[in-house]
Amino acid sequence: MYIQIPGDKSITHRALILSLFTQGEDNIIEGFNQAKDCLSTIECLKALGLVVKNIDGRLITYNPDWKLNYTQNTNLDGRNSGTTIRLLAGVLAGAAGEFLFTGDDSLRKRPMARLVEPLRLMGAKVKYLDKDGYLPFSLTGGKLTGIKYKINVASAQVQSAIILAGLKASNCTIVSVPSLVRTHTQNMLKANNVIVKNLNYCVTGVKRLNSPVAGFNIKIPGDLSSASYFLVLGALLKNSHFIMENININPGRDLIIDTILKIGGDLKLLNRKIVNLEPVCDLEIRGNRKLTATTIDYKNIATGIDEIPVIALLMSQAMGTSYVKNAQELMYKESNRLDLIVSNLRQAGAEIKSCEDGFWVKGVDYLHGDSIWVTSGDHRMAMTGLIASAMAKHPIKVDNLACIDISYPGFLDELDKIMAKIK
């Protein structure tokens, strides 16, 4: 059975934001992700004066001023999208103007200090308007100076923000992360002839961009995070056989693939190729394999932090005891995912217990279900709950389905179609 996966959300954000570095040319983005998070980026770009049109399923963007000279204050509402806020803050730190960054109630609870600190060191002026370390804040851009900066928590968003700010800064900017994270920003810049130096897999250097990026045409591959739910469903369902084509498998975000292989799932990576410096392949998953426990820790947690909820569901059906360690970052996502993973799976019949920095889960033959799955408005928890319900002996009621549109508007229809064919 072939499953259609939407375009990569992370790459869609970055392709849109790359438009800010072009001048007076049409940029074409094909296969873009149409989730609410990406629509937030589009609305922010429009507020900044970019022209963004959807023509026959392709986004066409046009930037009249790559120097980013703004004469009036601009309000930028990221809604639920942390990527929108963090990447735009990096770009606009080097722009002439004052910008007000805000978001919804969920985004206002997510920490911003580790983004603001390096931007201040580079020369941007940031003022918190309510609570220190959180949205909303105002940012006054200006002349930036490149820095050498070490991020303590592996974050592709913060790394990307510093890289993008570095394109407007004098001297060289060097940013390092403690472990591998997704490299979409670096790949996209290099694919569009911007000089980026990967000193090693954790250290990136950039210099000031002195001329605009040429107009581009980017084809977005499928989103691995969106595919992860159907990969887990396919691994757990008897007699299943799913194929998802043209999926991005950037090594900084392939934890779901690595975990399925380590746990014993029948997963094949077919037709590998490189598109715009991004690795892409088809994913083929079959059920019926006996799964065995595994461990996720600091070595690879950052390569799939968003997929930990559905990975925990996979672990709940693997023989033995699986561990997830060094996962404190889950506490600061759209919800406290760490607490929700443990409480929801336990209510559904899993043998799971929280630890100081993660949890352990002992595999059971099946989930009993007949429970309420609490999402706290978190789209990834909601999709995980629906996959859990599809696997459970009795249905699980997910308390909020509307939030799924934040990242995957067509998820419910796709899941219903799959389950109807299986039945």
User: Could you tell me the pLDDT band of residue 387, with boundaries at 50, 70 and 90?
Assistant: very high
Q: HEC string of 1-15?
A: CECCCCECHHHHHHH
**Would the pLDDT of 69 be above 90?**
no
Q: Torsion-angle region of residue 376: left (phi > 0), alpha (psi -120 to 50) or beta?
A: left
Instruction: Supply the pLDDT for residue 328.
Output: 87
Q: Could you report the per-residue pLDDT of 211-262, keeping only the tens digit for each?
A: 999 999 999 999 999 999 999 999 999 889 999 999 999 999 999 999 999 9
**Average pLDDT of span 365-384:** 97
| Residue-number span of the structural domain to which 386 is assigned | 224-422
Task: Look at residue 331 in the predicted model and tell me its pLDDT.
Answer: 80
Q: Are 342 and 416 within 8 A, CB to CB? A: no
| Angstrom distances, CA of residue 91 to CA of 45, 53, 67, 336, 394 | 12, 22, 11, 29, 49
**Percentage of the chain modeled with pLDDT above 70:** 100
What's the number of domains the chain is made of? 2
pLDDT tens-digit map of 254-278? 999 999 999 999 999 999 999 999 9
The DSSP code for 370 is: -
Task: Verify that 361 and 280 share a domain, yes or no.
Answer: yes
Confidence (pLDDT) at 335: 80
Residue 309 in any domain: the answer is yes
DSSP SS3 for 255: helix
* pLDDT at residue 71, as a whole number: 76
Predicted pLDDT at 201:
83
SS (H, E, C) 178-243: CCCCCCHHHHHHHHCCCCEEEEECCEEEEECCCCCECCCEEECCECHHHHHHHHHHHHHCCCCEEE
Tell me, yes or no, whether 348 and 295 share the same domain.
yes
Q: Residues 304, 265: contact at Cβ < 8 Å? A: no
Candidates 306, 339, 370, 399; catalytic one: 306
Supply the CATH number for residue 409's domain.
3.65.10.10
For residue 92, being part of any structural domain is answered with: yes
Same domain, yes or no: 170 and 229: no
Residue 158 shares a structural domain with residue 230: no
Q: At what angle do helices 184-191 and 156-166 cross, to 10 degrees?
A: 30
- Cis geometry, peptide bond prior to residue 111 (ω within 30 degrees of 0): no
306 a catalytic residue: yes
Q: Are residues 251 and 379 in the same domain?
A: yes
What are 78-99's pLDDT values in tens digits?
Answer: 999 999 999 999 999 999 999 9
Whether pLDDT at 183 is above 90:
yes
- Nearest in space to 342 (alpha carbons), one of 322, 357, 318, 359: 359
The per-residue pLDDT for 178 is: 94
**CA distance to 96, 159, 190, 230, 288, per residue, from 245 (Å):** 43, 29, 25, 13, 22
Please check whether residues 153 and 206 belong to one and the same domain: yes
Cβ-contact 270, 281 below 8 angstroms: yes
Q: To which residue do tokens 């806020």 refer?
A: 85
* Residue 17: predicted pLDDT: 98
Residue 4 is assigned to a structural domain of this protein? no
Do residue 144 and residue 234 come from a single domain? no
**pLDDT-above-90 percentage for the chain:** 91
Place 309 in a pLDDT band, splitting at 50, 70 and 90: very high
The 3-class SS string of 144-192 reads EECCEEECCCCCHHHHHHHHHHHCCEECEEEEECCCCCCCHHHHHHHHC
The SS3 call for residue 17 is helix
Among the three residues 219, 244, 271, which one is the final residue of a domain in this structure? 219
| Cβ atoms of 27 and 217 closer than 8 Å | yes
> Does some domain include residue 375?
yes
Mean pLDDT of the region 25-48: 97
pLDDT digit string (tens) for 129-171? 999 999 999 999 989 999 999 999 899 999 999 999 999 999 9
What is the number of helices (H) and of strands (E) in the chain? 12, 23
What is the spatial distance between Cα 423 and Cα 415, in angstroms, rounded to a whole number? 12
Residue 198 has pLDDT above 80, yes or no: yes
Across 321-350, average pLDDT: 92
Using left for φ > 0, alpha for ψ between -120 and 50, and beta otherwise, residue 3 falls in beta
